[in-house]
């Protein structure tokens, strides 16, 4: 149980702190690998899970089938582009009031809520208007 220091874990967290987008485990893996070529994907997954459990990073699930990670643990909301799949932060007030609202007619203890928005991001909207038939993948 006693946590021991590890270079790998440190690098993973450091990398995550340099990013404002929300990398997936695979992205983290490919990047940390540049500095530490023989790190394994399993180690990346293990540490991301560990860090998330410790509350040092946040695991983000936006229904695209892949977990994203965020070094910014302060409460905030996300937007997912249905065109390119990018996940970006959203500036808006906290919505914890919803929990009270939802708890009103509910038998049980509501601990929290998950909310995220989806649509077409600024870049994809622009590209679409211009010309490019393009089209990313978001399932």
Partner DNA sequence: TTCCTTGCAAATCGTTTGCATAATG
Partner DNA sequence: CATTATGCAAACGATTTGCAAGGAA
106 binds, among DNA, a copy of itself, none (CB under 5 to 8 A by kind): a copy of itself
Separation of alpha carbons 29 and 39, rounded Å: 8
The DSSP bridge partners found for residue 59 are 69
The pattern of x and - marking residues 45 through 74 that bind a copy of itself according to CB under 8 A reads ----------------xxx-----------
Determine how many CB atoms are found less than 10 A away from the CB of residue 91: 6
Is residue 54 involved in binding DNA (CB under 7 A)?
Answer: no
Determine how many CB atoms are found less than 10 A away from the CB of residue 64: 16
- Tokens of residue 52, six digits: 């998330």
Selected binder of a copy of itself within 1, 54, 111, 131 (CB under 8 A): 111
Residue entry with tokens 């699930």 = 61
Which residues contact a copy of itself (rule: CB under 8 A)? 61-63, 77, 79, 81-82, 90-93, 95, 98-99, 101-102, 104-125
């Amino acid at each position: 149980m006693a946590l021991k220091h590890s270079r790998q874990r440190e690098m993973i967290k450091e990398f995550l702190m340099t990013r404002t987008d929300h990398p997936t485990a695979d992205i983290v893996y490919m990047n940390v690998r540049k500095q530490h070529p023989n790190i394994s994907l399993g180690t990346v997954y293990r540490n991301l899970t560990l860090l998330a459990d410790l509350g040092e990073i946040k695991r983000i699930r936006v229904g695209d089938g892949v977990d994203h990670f965020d070094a910014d643990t302060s409460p905030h909301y996300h937007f997912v582009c249905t065109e390119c799949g990018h996940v970006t932060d959203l500036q808006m007030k906290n919505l914890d009031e919803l929990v009270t609202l939802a708890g009103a007619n509910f038998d049980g203890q509501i601990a929290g809520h998950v909310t995220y928005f989806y649509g077409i991001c600024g870049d994809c909207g622009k590209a679409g208007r211009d010309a490019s038939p393009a089209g990313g993948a978001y399932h």
